[in-house]
Structure 1
Amino acid sequence: MTPEARVAQLLDTFDAPEVNLGELLCDGHPADAVAFTVVQPDLSTLDLKFGDLKFGDLTYGDLAESSRRFAAYLADQGVEPGDRVATLMGKSADLVTVILGIWRAGAVHVPLFTAFATPAIALRLDGSDAKYVVCDADQRAKLEPGEDLPEDPARQVIVAGDRVASGDLSLTALLAEADPAAAPNVAVAGSAEFVRLFTSGTTGTPKGVPIPVKALATFVVYLEYGLDVTADDVYWNAADPGWAYGLYYGIAGPLAAGRRNILLQAKFTPETTWQVIQSLGVTNLAAAPTVFRSLRSAETPAPAGLDLRRISSAGEPLNPDVVTWGADVLGAAIHDTYGQTELGMSIVNGWQADVAGELRHGSMGRPMPGWDAAVLKEEADEPADAGELGRVAIDLQGSPLMWFTGYVDAPEKTAERFSADGRWYYTGDAGSMDEDGYVYFSSRDDDVIIMAGYRIGPFEVESVLVGDPRVVEAAVVGVPDDLRGEVVEAFVVLAPGTSATPEFVDELKQRVKTKLAAHAYPRQIHLVAELPKTPSGKIQRFQLRSQRASEIAAASQS
């Protein structure tokens, strides 16, 4: 089958008038086939039936019953198709059960990243109007009503695990009591929303992205053509499912394609990563560049005899030296791929034979089957010359897999993404294209920071900083970092009479950790008299980025 025919086939399946997600993502697969391997911190896997620690797998049969139970519970509670249900959970069998149960009920999944602090969670709960939140026990405190999260009597909290406080609903208990035979059998249109994610808040409040069922077609295309995940592979997408790459290609895509993924219930360390790859015989690995940079610089060397045949990266540009390291040490070059929350992956250095091409250092590849892209001139919606720096855009006329149509309740922001004639989707990224159609990333038109694969919007961090009455203004930028790609730094103007002490700086860092997210705090805070601005008063973050990049480069040469 040609790639074009496969794209059409997938669209016929997932963009149909009636799509039964329970059937397509679970029930249609062999009941004894493995859906996920859930790896414990001690590198044993959790046997769901008996509860002891050993190498056992979550099969589609297991998942069918548990997800039907959760869908039956939701339906019994009056949750209807289109209602939103949020998760604040790490990678686990419970997470997959809940997500698939939400989809069986025709409801919309709202993922919440577990590193978020309460204000960031509150913003997303308010923006989705989620009436149910399922959380891990260690996340429960973030959902307590207070200054950052107003009380909502209509919102129900369900706690996973065995540490459930009095007054909370227990996921384990309600699953045991629910009747899987009572699960609703809901079919929805391919245009219906089934996930709602939020952008990174680059220039304002994070925007809701409604993801339709149709998007599953492009998720499968990426697994098949971008990553070349086959039935014989041991596939591991190591990204967190609280973000797009981990949810699209670690949960939804594998379920749609019927391919097993590994869910590691432990924080990243090079040692644990090597153990998982070696002990489970991983052959197809996808992760953020920071994972590969950490593995390369770790004291623990790569084990001998790895079976990796495909390695792919996403989330930020990949350093050419890391690509070479992958080929020399891991046995396969690391292929860079490009996408957005609003697109999924769309430009790739594809592995599959029908799309594989020359691996050109610095390039994120060529448009994936079902997509067409161009680099437009800076001042006109026409293709730039080969090698000319311009605006990376998706050509909608040649992109049948395009599914994004607009942000939730944000028509002005939506209009900024599309050309007036409806032909182009503007990614907001700058780059160039060579004569053979390879796209090279240059920079972002906006100011989003990509740190270790996580997209961090400066506006959210700045808002937390200026929430301290001792801060008059703040500008947050990403600066180069060998390990993480970029790290967050802040430039702060203090209120008159404020003492610039080391303790004060530490307080500001801690404020971001507790008010936004632990990973988003500024690694350095620069106290300045004023911020560079345009005549109209807009902060010129690019000047601060350029200043810090020059300082870091000079320091490395001294």
Structure 2
Amino acid sequence: MDKLTFASYDEFLRVFSLDAPETFNFAFDVLDAMANETPDRLAIAHVDDAGVRRDYTFAWLADASARLANALKARGVRKGHRVMLVLHRRIEFWVSMLALHRLGAVAIPAPAQLTPKDIVFRVERAQVRAVIVDDGITDRIEAARPDCPTLSVLVQCGGTPLPDGWCDYEALCADASPSFPRPTAPDELACGEDPLLIFFSSGTTGMPKMVEHVHTYPLGHLVTGMYWHDLRPGDLHLTVADTGWGKAVWGKFYGQWMAGAAVFVYDFRGKFDPEALLDVVAKNGVTTFCAPPTVYRFLVRADLSRYDLSKLRHCTTAGELLNESVFHGWKAATGLSIYEGYGQTETTLQIATLSCMEAKPGSIGRPMPGWGITLLDHEGKECPTGEEGEICIRISDGLPVGLFRGYVEDAEKTASVMFDGYYHTGDKAWMDEDGYLWFLGRVDDLIKSSGYRIGPFEVESALVAHPAVVEAAVTGVPDPLRGQAVKATIVLAAGYEAGEVLTKELQDHVKKVTAPYKYPRIVEYVAELPKTISGKIKRAEIRQRDSEKSA
């Protein structure tokens, strides 16, 4: 697919358009097309935890995914069946996703941190028919299996021995045909508006929801890969993300291949090691890089001069706010700006800073083409410049390519976010005079103190800029004078000791970095923050705990 050239953001909006064919299926229309045209072209460079690199071509992926599709079909997996994948960053994840796209089965990527209880919940809610898992997950599936009567096909990747009723991935595919052409029967071909993926939401409040995307969804990531990641043919792109979450297909799958780039996978296990990541990036000549701000914070604390990052030319981030100290520290060390973006499990990239735009540290950028972004107040009226409102997407004229189709089997929840011609994201922001959006946080997370409305992200960003703070969660607690007071729950870096002196230092630091009225009047030090299995802070749990203490 050819990349457009443009000199400005406004020109990009004018010249870019996206058609989503009703018959589109990524496996046949992108993967197979590339395998036919450039069979020996690099698709994935995979480095395992031991540092061993293996390269995979488009021809190899087409062959492997066809074999798995045939093998699963022989065991009864059909169009519409739901298949859960728990595979870390194994190469089998990409093969399995493509095989399911061929079959028309619905993939449910899941994180490796799931407990047996989590597995039972997901299998029951989604009526999962089959699982394909890393051998380190098998025992948890087995523990959940008595309460999962819908499971009929169980596939293990790696490891021995196999429990009763399980198939070995390699043996399953060994004798299967490497040919799986596009089906012609309507009950076999999945495309267009047919279900493609289900992501379970993070569950920061309440139980996880099932977010369903259709077969046109990958096309929504054309902008992600080609323009936000700024990819060109021959690039090697690394997004730091686990395959159990939506961010993996943002940066490790659809958009990168459509842009002509190869996906770089670093399949590290265990605790994140910033120096190991830098070493891998340098030795393998990664050209474009995307990671959450937390990762960049660790990287800028390392001695970047030890690593040859000369091939790295473009960097992006999403998932939380990027504080200015990290932005400037990274640019001073590498010469590269970090371009922010915003989206949700329910969407593709909605808002971003592109390479043709000025990167404003802390801003998520400007709306991407095809997304009718509007900030609405609590009465449903559009907000003027400088006034905070909820990020909403206009759907009255049709759903944007990449927007989810609803929460599976939850019409009430779907209706609570899709009404009056808009999809309501539940996230708040404000827009500056240049049209850039500045994220404030979830609607429920905003703090109302002495007439001010304070977003937790800005205060958290100020706190983590201090060397004593590894992580911070900012919430509101009831206050008889102010309505709510700002509270910071903090995880300290090694070598720092909690106490009144440090608390005063952190409070003064926040007053200097952001508006003084936003400083945390209450500071609590903890060993760890409550998080979802995707790593998102559960501020609601902190508020609940504080409420119980107060009572």
* TM superposition score category, shorter chain reference: 0.7 to 0.9
Relative to structure 1, the CA distance from residue 328 to residue 188 in structure 2 (aligned partners, 3 Å threshold; closer, same or farther) is same
**Which one-letter code corresponds to 2:373 in the other structure?**
A
Who is 2:432 aligned against?
434
**236, 242, 245: which one pairs with 1:234?**
236
**23, 28, 48: which one pairs with 2:33?**
28
Who is 2:374 aligned against?
374
Does the CA contact (< 8 Å) of 1:311 and 1:334 recur in 2?
yes
The separation in 2 between residues aligned to 1:188 and 1:528, in whole angstroms, is 49
Cα shift at 1:106:
1.1
Who is 1:530 aligned against?
548
Who is 2:359 aligned against?
359
The separation in 1 between residues aligned to 2:414 and 2:168, in whole angstroms, is 39
**Residue 81 (structure 2) pairs with residue 83 (structure 1):** yes
The separation in 1 between residues aligned to 2:205 and 2:98, in whole angstroms, is 33
Relative to structure 1, the CA distance from residue 258 to residue 175 in structure 2 (aligned partners, 3 Å threshold; closer, same or farther) is farther
Who is 1:330 aligned against?
334
**Residue 279 (structure 2) pairs with residue 275 (structure 1):** yes
Does the CA contact (< 8 Å) of 2:348 and 2:403 recur in 1?
no
Who is 1:413 aligned against?
413
Cα shift at 1:257:
3.9
Does the CA contact (< 8 Å) of 2:341 and 2:353 recur in 1?
yes
Aligned length: 463
Relative to structure 1, the CA distance from residue 152 to residue 5 in structure 2 (aligned partners, 3 Å threshold; closer, same or farther) is farther
Does the CA contact (< 8 Å) of 1:70 and 1:178 recur in 2?
yes
Deviation track 1:209-243 (CA, whole Å, cap 9, x = no partner) reads 11111221211111112111111322111211211
Does the CA contact (< 8 Å) of 2:213 and 2:402 recur in 1?
no
Who is 2:450 aligned against?
none
Cα shift at 1:305:
5.0
**Which one-letter code corresponds to 1:122 in the other structure?**
V
Cα shift at 1:68:
0.3
Cα shift at 1:77:
1.7
The separation in 2 between residues aligned to 1:276 and 1:303, in whole angstroms, is 10
Identity among equivalent pairs (%): 28
Cα shift at 1:188:
2.5
Who is 2:155 aligned against?
158
**Which one-letter code corresponds to 1:188 in the other structure?**
A
The separation in 1 between residues aligned to 2:434 and 2:146, in whole angstroms, is 51
Relative to structure 1, the CA distance from residue 266 to residue 203 in structure 2 (aligned partners, 3 Å threshold; closer, same or farther) is closer
Does the CA contact (< 8 Å) of 1:83 and 1:130 recur in 2?
yes
Relative to structure 1, the CA distance from residue 428 to residue 182 in structure 2 (aligned partners, 3 Å threshold; closer, same or farther) is closer
Cα shift at 1:369:
2.0
Deviation track 1:76-129 (CA, whole Å, cap 9, x = no partner) reads 122221111110111122111111111111111100111222222222222221
The separation in 2 between residues aligned to 1:518 and 1:245, in whole angstroms, is 10
Normalised by the size of structure 1, how large is the TM-score? 0.76
**147, 170, 173: which one pairs with 1:172?**
170
**Residue 311 (structure 2) pairs with residue 312 (structure 1):** no
**Which one-letter code corresponds to 1:61 in the other structure?**
A
Cα shift at 1:262:
0.8
Who is 1:542 aligned against?
none
Cα shift at 1:442:
1.2
Cα shift at 1:138:
0.9
Relative to structure 1, the CA distance from residue 397 to residue 522 in structure 2 (aligned partners, 3 Å threshold; closer, same or farther) is closer
Who is 2:22 aligned against?
17
**Which one-letter code corresponds to 1:136 in the other structure?**
D
**303, 309, 319: which one pairs with 2:307?**
303
Relative to structure 1, the CA distance from residue 401 to residue 375 in structure 2 (aligned partners, 3 Å threshold; closer, same or farther) is same
Does the CA contact (< 8 Å) of 1:478 and 1:488 recur in 2?
no
Q: Secondary structure at the match of 1:63?
A: helix
The separation in 2 between residues aligned to 1:447 and 1:205, in whole angstroms, is 17
Who is 2:388 aligned against?
389
Unaligned runs of 5+ in 2: 7-11, 447-459, 478-526
Q: Secondary structure at the match of 1:261?
A: strand
Q: Secondary structure at the match of 2:233?
A: coil
Cα shift at 1:431:
1.3
Deviation track 1:250-296 (CA, whole Å, cap 9, x = no partner) reads 12333444421111111331122111211111111011111101111
Relative to structure 1, the CA distance from residue 102 to residue 195 in structure 2 (aligned partners, 3 Å threshold; closer, same or farther) is same
Superposition CA RMSD, Å:
3.3
Relative to structure 1, the CA distance from residue 6 to residue 484 in structure 2 (aligned partners, 3 Å threshold; closer, same or farther) is farther
Who is 1:342 aligned against?
346
Cα shift at 1:17:
2.4
Cα shift at 1:200:
1.7
Who is 2:442 aligned against?
444
Relative to structure 1, the CA distance from residue 223 to residue 181 in structure 2 (aligned partners, 3 Å threshold; closer, same or farther) is closer
**Residue 253 (structure 2) pairs with residue 251 (structure 1):** yes
Relative to structure 1, the CA distance from residue 484 to residue 371 in structure 2 (aligned partners, 3 Å threshold; closer, same or farther) is farther
The separation in 2 between residues aligned to 1:158 and 1:178, in whole angstroms, is 15
Relative to structure 1, the CA distance from residue 232 to residue 303 in structure 2 (aligned partners, 3 Å threshold; closer, same or farther) is same
Does the CA contact (< 8 Å) of 2:213 and 2:405 recur in 1?
no
**215, 218, 232: which one pairs with 1:216?**
218
Relative to structure 1, the CA distance from residue 297 to residue 305 in structure 2 (aligned partners, 3 Å threshold; closer, same or farther) is closer
Relative to structure 1, the CA distance from residue 299 to residue 120 in structure 2 (aligned partners, 3 Å threshold; closer, same or farther) is farther
The separation in 1 between residues aligned to 2:461 and 2:337, in whole angstroms, is 27
Mapping 1:283-298, distance limit 5 Å: 283-298=287-302
Who is 1:37 aligned against?
45
Q: Secondary structure at the match of 2:419?
A: coil
The separation in 2 between residues aligned to 1:305 and 1:402, in whole angstroms, is 33
Does the CA contact (< 8 Å) of 2:238 and 2:263 recur in 1?
yes
